[in-house]
Structure 1
Amino acid sequence: MIDFKRLLGIALTSSLLVLASPSVIKGAETITFSIMPLGQFDISVKSLTDFAETGTIDPDFKFYTQHLKPEELEKLRGLLNHSFKFNSVEAFRFFNTTFGKEIAQQLSYIIAAPTDQSQPFLEGAIVTAAQNPDGFKIIDVINAYGGSDLVLNLDTFKNTIDQADTLYQATDRIFTWLGKQEIPSNPVPPNLKPLALAEPGPQKWTTQNLTIPRPNGQPVNVFVYLPQGNSSPAPLVVIAPGLNSNFQAFTYIADHLASYGFTIAGIDFPESDAARMQDSLQGLDAFPDPNAWLEQPKDVTLVLDTLAQKAATDPAWQGKFDINNVGILGHSLGGYTAIASGGATLEWPELLQQCEQLNKPNQINLNPALLWQCQGVGSAPPASNLRESRIKAVLAINPVTNPIFGPDGMKNLAVPTLIVAGSKDIFAPPVPEQIIPFSLIEGVNKYLLLVQNGTHLSFLEDTDNLPEKIVGPGQDLAYTYMKSLGLAFFDLYLQQDSSFKPYLTDSVVQQMSQEPLPLQLVPSLTPAQLQQAMDINN
């Protein structure tokens, strides 16, 4: 026998959970949905609001919830109360970008109405709800949606519950669970000062800019720091910025590493730099050509080949660096580039399959990283293996990895890897883009640095013109963390200096950790452990 009451409860919960995405629905007096063959059902918005605000379950709402488990109700209420820190002006501007309209279209599938009708109403409801100075919640959007009755697509709700929870609630559960685990503590050497590595080093350097032609398309601009006075060739660190960003966002870490004798090669990728992407998002330019961003690891190889030639033919460059001992630091899309260069293999069929789901009304995707990956996907698959054998260590900050590396690609990473994840990253959400992929890495030394309250922009410079709520708190502290841990990581794995190993332990990271960006360093995590962490009962 089918338990129709439980089916009703789960159906309603499904619909409301999915409203817990960065934009939601409703502003009516009643939420209506249909279950075949049982017919049409509804619940008052007031009942839902009372439950979200106080936990009260009135008789109207109890009809649907009496057969739900306590953890299901807890998940529902948590998602309804999730706050999104955008004001109405920022929301309006966002929905006038190409990317914002894609998000709004995805959300509009929840409403049982033609998209050309539901999407503008939904955008208006979000802009109205965003007038709340403390950030808007699901309930705010529901109460701002015009009309007296809101009809929802139940199939769409049911198919997106898990994703909504993963993007917005599971992150907190995972961070909390990991914080409770016993991480092996290594003895901390006496007199070790965790933040001492953030102080500048004594080395001097010179800088040179290179413009490297490519077989097809615009040239690559490279900013090279050459150490002065080294007794032997220095390790080289490539810096790969992310989407809508330039190398200048990481000059603080480039300067710091150079002051300790590293050679630096900072790359500006022409298809995804700040100027090109700003124009693309505003509809003034096309998004990068299909597969262009996927090919960025080839630009890393091109840069290394060019530097090798310079070192072999130009006396001013000879003996400055070891071209076969290279680390790479990448952020966001540059994090993808770093991880692919380190050996993770691309799974093109997986990406195409995920992108195909975007046009199905019963499937909503709310992960901005996936929406962006699908913007420029063409029909011609790239090479699956873009590993650069000269890369010996990978440091990836807020990397985009899913679904391009699929369930198996991360297993092919061939070098020590440090992944940085921020709990408040809304552009490359930490669970699908960093934490799950980290759990899949096998056979190499790996580290996951969890940054509580960290955003997608925490580790970037040149964010002065962006809203503080998007950038997040404690940027100066974030720079200090990256200087210390970046130097320790590359000294350990490029210089083979074991004295830096203690810095890459949770014991030392805890000494380094400060508000408003508390840290935790996770040296291992398996898929089974991750599943336990995501369980709402833990």
Structure 2
Amino acid sequence: MTLNSPAPRQPSIPFARSWRRRCLAWLLGLAGALATATPGQAAEALLVSYGILERSIPIADLERFATTGELTTQLQIYRRQLQITDDQLSQIREVLVTPASISAVGVAQFLYTEQGILLLEQVSRVVQTPVRQANVQALRGALILAAADPETGFTLLNVLKTYPTVAIRIDLAEGLAIAQEINQAILQSEAAFEQVQTLARQQAEANPVDVGALLQLIESERRYGIDLIQVVVPGLPRPALLYLPQVQPGGPPVPPGGFPLVVISHGLGGTRDSYSYLAEYLVTGGIAVATLEHPGSNDQQLYALLAGQSDAVVQDEEFLRRPRDVSLTLNALENLSRNPSVIQNQLDLSRVGVVGQSFGGYTALALAGASFDLARLAAACPPGTLSFNPSLLLQCQALRLGNPGNSLVDPRVRSIFVMNPVGSVLFGPTGYSQLDLPVMVVAGTADTVAPAFPEQIEPFSWLTTPDRYLLLISRGTHFSTIGDVVAGDQPLPIPPDIIGLRPELVWAYMQVLGLAYFKLTLEGDQRFRPALQAAFANAIQTDPYELSLISPLPIAPAAPPSDPAFEGDDPPAAPLAP
């Protein structure tokens, strides 16, 4: 792998604002779309009310505008009154007609889940029947009908057209209040991004490093081959994959105590292969890697949901099962390493790290000792309005479980590397402060699933462990680090715009920084510490991404700016049993 020389610094905040506002427009557009219907008559008008004021817009006028770009006389009047620019008009047209690639069955199944029902209830604050009544059934039905349309599919315009009453009422005051809340969250996030980026620049200037020597050091460690082994884990339906360093002629031998081990926990809808790019890189550097599959939250679980074979995105118990899946995998590997087998004496289970992304990030945090804060969770759940942080819909499920105490902690875990983790309200400051081992947190400024400020930056400020690192990837999305999304190996295809530009660059960052991190935290090799400093991350960044790496983070939650304006290899061998 080759990392390019330092690229000119790119201004990340304007991009983040533009990207997030476009996503916000999609969110509000989708919210409007969710406000629709059951079979029957079609809506003919959009009633926009603001207090005692009300305007009626024929949906036929919107359809004409969406199809031809022409504004009727009435729409021209509204445009002048609202001072809508050409660019904003173009964005509105795009939101009206851009389809979402999702099946009617998938839509129906999601809207009957707990998260779907909650979303419908939130949207009903804004989108109502002509007599100002919410109708969740109408919302659900219209969305399903729009997704089932073989010609135009699920577009906002199509949803408006299939609403089952003569008109659709939009409570503009309520909608603007929600938009303002979301916009304030965006401004708060951008202020935090700028603060992290400024601090990283200061640290880079104050602590320069020899980048060439560090890259040479990291590459010099990659002297092993890859032995891929399937390991049967009692309690898991699918074998884990063990990437075992393979000694090469003239290369280093197996360490006296065995190789340190890293376990990778995928996110919701992932598989054991989602991070093969990272596993293959780490193993060539002398770190064994095990990738497992969480059966209650893998791709098959999402397929089951979309096919009508499951009534939940994940079951509540998955919050307990996931950490235990990792512990079961460690038990199986420990048994094999201690007894006669092809991997006997080759693993050091006293030096274990965990990599987790998204829901896998939660898994790693729980294993490492983060405790539940049920009082904080209860105060935040259910979200009272459309949230800028969709991951809350997942975290709130844990409220029904009670407090597992320290039963999810695995003392063999000595270091964690979490990418886009969720757990802000589930763990809270109390839970995060329980962590006393090295932690690397990776966040993306363009993450709209687990937004960087509430889910990574602020929780990072709650950490008290001395070895803590925050890597902020400008333009990084929730999917940038996932290795199988580009190939389309997902139950729901993810559009390239949502994945982000050139994700292979982000993979390269995860490889280099991940190897350096585990060399330091699991092997105690201090030569790698400079590779976890701001100057090194700054030097290896490549357009379009800016990397800001800091440790620690001495900031309080950022206050938003005052401007409140809202703009729109070989196959594995036969399974190895423990």
TM-score by length of 2: 0.72
Aligned equivalents of 2:276 and 2:397: distance in 1? Answer: 29
Q: Is the 8 A contact 1:237 1:326 kept in 2?
A: yes
Q: Structure 1 residues 196, 161: CA separation in 2 closer, same or farther (over 3 Å shift)?
A: farther
Choose from 171, 175, 183 the match for 1:152. Answer: 171
Residue in 2 aligned with 1:303?
A: 329
Give structure 2 stretches of 5+ with no counterpart: 1-23, 34-43, 58-74, 247-252, 565-578
SS in 1 for 2:263: strand
Q: Is the 8 A contact 2:25 2:95 kept in 1?
A: no
State the percentage of identical aligned residues.
25
Amino acid aligned to 1:522: I
Q: Deviations over 1:501-530 (max 9, x none)?
A: 1111111111111112222113233452x3
Q: Structure 1 residues 264, 469: CA separation in 2 closer, same or farther (over 3 Å shift)?
A: same
Residue in 2 aligned with 1:225?
A: 243
- Say whether residues 1:373 and 2:395 are aligned partners: yes
Aligned equivalents of 2:504 and 2:443: distance in 1? Answer: 17
Q: Structure 1 residues 20, 247: CA separation in 2 closer, same or farther (over 3 Å shift)?
A: closer
Choose from 221, 230, 253 the match for 2:278. Answer: 253
Q: Is the 8 A contact 2:187 2:561 kept in 1?
A: no
Residue in 1 aligned with 2:419?
A: 397
Q: Structure 1 residues 368, 44: CA separation in 2 closer, same or farther (over 3 Å shift)?
A: same
Q: Structure 1 residues 177, 187: CA separation in 2 closer, same or farther (over 3 Å shift)?
A: closer
Aligned equivalents of 1:198 and 1:81: distance in 2? Answer: 49
Residue in 1 aligned with 2:110?
A: 98
Q: Structure 1 residues 22, 526: CA separation in 2 closer, same or farther (over 3 Å shift)?
A: farther
Q: Is the 8 A contact 2:241 2:291 kept in 1?
A: yes
SS in 1 for 2:243: strand
Q: How far apart are residue 352 of structure 1 and its match?
A: 4.0
What aligned pairs does 1:47-86 form with structure 2 within 5 A after superposition?
51=82, 53-54=84-85
The more displaced of 368-377 and 298-307 is 368-377
SS in 1 for 2:469: strand
Amino acid aligned to 2:135: T
Q: Structure 1 residues 124, 309: CA separation in 2 closer, same or farther (over 3 Å shift)?
A: closer
SS in 2 for 1:408: helix
Give structure 1 stretches of 5+ with no counterpart: 1-16, 35-39, 57-76
Moved over 6 A (4+): 17-20, 26-29, 43-48, 80-86, 124-128, 139-149
Q: Is the 8 A contact 1:210 1:223 kept in 2?
A: yes
Q: Is the 8 A contact 1:195 1:484 kept in 2?
A: no
Q: Is the 8 A contact 2:211 2:539 kept in 1?
A: no
Residue in 1 aligned with 2:48?
A: 31
Aligned equivalents of 2:141 and 2:464: distance in 1? Answer: 47
- Say whether residues 1:115 and 2:122 are aligned partners: no
Aligned equivalents of 1:327 and 1:85: distance in 2? Answer: 47
Choose from 508, 527, 539 the match for 1:511. Answer: 539
Choose from 209, 222, 225 the match for 1:201. Answer: 222
The more displaced of 92-101 and 496-505 is 92-101
Q: Structure 1 residues 325, 170: CA separation in 2 closer, same or farther (over 3 Å shift)?
A: same
SS in 2 for 1:443: coil
Aligned equivalents of 1:349 and 1:291: distance in 2? Answer: 19
Q: How far apart are residue 241 of structure 1 and its match?
A: 0.8
Q: How far apart are residue 396 of structure 1 and its match?
A: 0.4
Choose from 406, 411, 424 the match for 2:446. Answer: 424
Aligned equivalents of 2:121 and 2:160: distance in 1? Answer: 17
Q: How far apart are residue 175 of structure 1 and its match?
A: 2.3
Residue in 2 aligned with 1:292?
A: 318
Aligned equivalents of 2:364 and 2:498: distance in 1? Answer: 25
The more displaced of 171-180 and 264-273 is 171-180
SS in 1 for 2:426: coil
Q: Is the 8 A contact 1:31 1:152 kept in 2?
A: yes
- Say whether residues 1:457 and 2:479 are aligned partners: yes
Aligned equivalents of 1:199 and 1:152: distance in 2? Answer: 62
Residue in 2 aligned with 1:162?
A: 181
Residue in 1 aligned with 2:558?
A: 531
Q: Structure 1 residues 381, 371: CA separation in 2 closer, same or farther (over 3 Å shift)?
A: same
Aligned equivalents of 2:47 and 2:409: distance in 1? Answer: 55
Aligned equivalents of 1:296 and 1:116: distance in 2? Answer: 33
Q: Is the 8 A contact 2:471 2:550 kept in 1?
A: yes
Q: How far apart are residue 180 of structure 1 and its match?
A: 3.4
Q: Is the 8 A contact 2:267 2:359 kept in 1?
A: yes
SS in 2 for 1:531: coil
Aligned equivalents of 1:23 and 1:488: distance in 2? Answer: 42
- Say whether residues 1:88 and 2:94 are aligned partners: no
SS in 2 for 1:490: helix
The alignment covers a number of residue pairs equal to 480
Aligned equivalents of 1:441 and 1:421: distance in 2? Answer: 15
SS in 2 for 1:406: helix
Q: Structure 1 residues 48, 410: CA separation in 2 closer, same or farther (over 3 Å shift)?
A: farther
Choose from 337, 344, 364 the match for 2:370. Answer: 344
Q: Structure 1 residues 153, 43: CA separation in 2 closer, same or farther (over 3 Å shift)?
A: closer
Q: Is the 8 A contact 1:239 1:330 kept in 2?
A: yes
Q: How far apart are residue 54 of structure 1 and its match?
A: 3.8
Aligned equivalents of 1:176 and 1:85: distance in 2? Answer: 33
Q: Is the 8 A contact 2:356 2:418 kept in 1?
A: yes
What aligned pairs does 1:406-445 form with structure 2 within 5 A after superposition?
406-445=428-467
RMSD: 4.0
The more displaced of 423-432 and 259-268 is 423-432
Choose from 210, 222, 225 the match for 1:189. Answer: 210
Q: Structure 1 residues 443, 152: CA separation in 2 closer, same or farther (over 3 Å shift)?
A: same
- Say whether residues 1:280 and 2:305 are aligned partners: yes
Q: How far apart are residue 295 of structure 1 and its match?
A: 3.2
Residue in 2 aligned with 1:386?
A: 408
Q: How far apart are residue 160 of structure 1 and its match?
A: 7.4
Residue in 1 aligned with 2:290?
A: 265
